[in-house]
A = this chain, B = another copy of it.
Amino acid sequence: MTKVLIVDDEPQILRALRINLRARGYDVEVVPDGTSALKAAAAYHPDLIVLDLGLPDMDGVDVIRGVRGWTETPIIVLSGRAGSEDKVEALDAGADDYVTKPFGVDELLARMRAVTRRHSSVAEVTPIVRIGQFSVDIASHSVHGTDGSEVRLTPTEWGLLSLLVRNPGKLVSQRQLLREVWGPQYQSETNYLRQYMAQLRRKLEADPARPRQLLTEPGMGYRFLSQD
């Protein structure tokens, strides 16, 4: 049974989530603030954490950092503000995905499934992933088509693709992509991302204009969706 830790200070949200998730077969634990969230994460070892950024006692981003200090447990962030600044910050701190309030329970459930699937599949090395009709072999740094043809990627293209593929299902922020592929001083050169994501889609996606696996999350970042 999947264990979920919910961190939120609004009683009605807690109540709604607890009922809905229990009905779906989740094992649910709820806490109202950051301090008890960190404690509960350590004591309860949840498989997934749903975290509201607006907590009474501490900044939600610091809760993420505290959890990430010792575990990779997936974290889905809830945010009341539609403004993207804090959400980007949360993703950079290590959150896996985010949902803006007000949200439909179905949406949250879908993201929970996506994120837990990603986490369980990471354990099994995932040396080869499929994009469209191509297989990407992370270990040997090569991409082959089903017909045996070979796709050549430049170093930058490869850096970008491998970062996304190593985090399947996770929304990776623009900042993190730029930081890890180009370096810390390039964190605002979003045009690089547009340029190279377009190149990757041209080389890998069946219909580059309508990407199915190399997805854009407007204002946030990019996401690789594994097909299965």
Contact = CB atoms under 8 A, between A and B. Distances in A.
A157 to B, nearest CB: 10
Q: Is the interface of A mostly helix, strand, loop or mixed?
A: loop
A149 to B, nearest CB: 14
A139 B220 contact: no
Interface in A127-176: 139-142, 154-155, 158, 169-171
A85 to B, nearest CB: 29
A151 to B, nearest CB: 13
Contacts of A83: none
A69 interface: no
B155 A219 contact: yes
A72 interface: no
Contact of A169 (B142, B170, B171): B142
The range of chain A's interface size is 10 to 19
A212 B218 CA distance: 29
A217 interface: yes
B154 A169 contact: no
Contact of A139 (B154, B158, B170): B170
Nearest to A155: B219
Contacts of A218: 154-155
Given A141-B170, A155-B218, A155-B220, 6 more contacts: A140-B169, A140-B170, A141-B171, A142-B169, A142-B223, A155-B219
19 contacts: A139-B170, A140-B169, A140-B170, A140-B171, A140-B223, A141-B170, A141-B171, A141-B217, A141-B220, A141-B223, A142-B169, A142-B171, A142-B223, A154-B218, A154-B219, A155-B218, A155-B219, A155-B220, A158-B220
